[in-house]
Each structure stands twice: as structure tokens, then as C-alpha cells.
Amino acid sequence: MLPCPSDLSLLSLRSAPQHLPSTLIKAIQRIPRARPGTGTVDCIVQEASFRELGDWQRLIHDPYIAPDPARLDRSWHWPRYLTASYLLNDVHGRLTEAFQIMVSSPTGRAVPVGVAMLVSGYPHPGEVGEMGTFVWFLSSTPPAALQAFGVTDRFVVMPLLLDSAVQASRWQGLHGRVALHADHRGTPKQQDDLVKRYVACGLTQRNYLKGTPLSWFRKMDSRYFTYGMASAHACTLKWDPLR
């Protein structure tokens, strides 16, 4: 079972550090419906532990996402990714966090409309000497899954998952710097569509990073996207009325 609304706890977007305005570090409390002009729905940003990610995998991913060839995330396994992130990143002092954006069904059941996993403490692509928050994975709930839980609305999800990542980055003292890598799987059209969606969210594609060493054995490609301080502010400012 997914948790009831009374069981929800906010993602670790806690009291703001003294050197940042508190109004800049606050999770959304409402999420827009997908069709313009149809208003918003109350929501909450909830921290996702192994239990919540296990529920997502079992109740949403496996029955609704995994069978869909149009989904680039159909082969993902969230509990395994969380375990891997702890193993890979804790030793380097990086912070792993996962969260979900939740709405309430007509019967009062808490239903996730999107999920993301973040790791704070990576070098920020394109800004030498600066650190940022990396979005390892993010995903939205398919309409069929929402309907199965009694939610008939569709929502604007990706920009609000990214907004929550910016808030987490700010709370860590990283000034909203966020980076992600566009999935290389799928058809050329699927990849192009994904790039267009990231650009529409105000992310900057760092094409010039292609060929830059990422580690001893890997080089970066052109599919890294970032928010810097200014672009993070510009993109999250539009969502301030939802906080």
C-alpha cells in the first residue's frame, strides 16, 4: 500500500541556511494540471526511502512502465539504483536523496505523480571548481497508473521534479546548480524529444563538453544539461506561486 496523506513527510527541504533567503528554499504545495487553464491540485514533496521506491517499482513501474516500449525508463529498477548510489557515493561524502511528488485520490489515498533520485556533491559540468546536485533518475507516473489509483487528472511533472532538485541543491548550499545526463537509449526520435523537453524546462545543453574526461575510463558526451545559479532562479521563479 502507498502511504496515507497523514503519513507523508517533506523531502529534506528544511529550514534554509542563514546566507540564503528562506523564500528560495521551499517545496511546491500545488501542481498544475497538464491542460492549460484547468488549475492546480494540492500536492506534497515526500522523501522516498527503500519502502516507497519498492512500492513505485511494484505498483507503478512493473505493471505500467516496463511493458511500454515508448518509455525510455522501462528497464529501470529504483531500489537497486538507490542501493548502488549509497555504495558509490557515500564513500565520497556525496548525499543521495530520493523523493516523490504526491497527490491525493478521491478516496484520500496518496498517489505519486513523479519520482526522482538526486546526488549532491558532484563537480558541476561546465563550471570549474563548483559543485552541484546531479539528477540520477527521474520519472513520471503513466496516465493508466493514475487512473488505476482513482486519479483522472494529468499533471505537469518534469519541470516540478527539476524545481524540487533545485530546492535541494540550494538547501545543500550549492545555489541551485543542477545537472543531468539525457538517456542515450531509445530511437533517435525519442532521444530528440527528450532533449527538447529538457531545453523547454530551461536547462542548458553543454555540447562543448563532448570528449572531456569524466574519469580514468570515461569521457563526457554532448548530452549533459545544467542549471546554473541564474538559470535555476529564472526557471523556478515561475513556480513560486505554487509554494
Segment 165-215, tens digit of pLDDT? 999 999 999 999 999 998 888 888 888 899 999 999 999 998 777 767 655
* DSSP assignments along 185-200, one per residue: -S-HHHHHHHHHHHHH
- Domains of the chain (ranges plus CATH)? 5-242 (3.40.630.30)
The three cell numbers locating residue 59: 505498483
Residue 39 and residue 241 in contact, taking contact as beta carbons nearer than 8 Å: no
Q: Which pLDDT value is given to residue 127?
A: 85
Query: Model confidence over 94-127: pLDDT tens digits?
Result: 999 999 999 999 999 999 999 999 999 999 987 8
The three cell numbers locating residue 92: 565520497
Percent of the chain residues past pLDDT 70, beyond the cut: 86
pLDDT average, residue stretch 67-82:
96
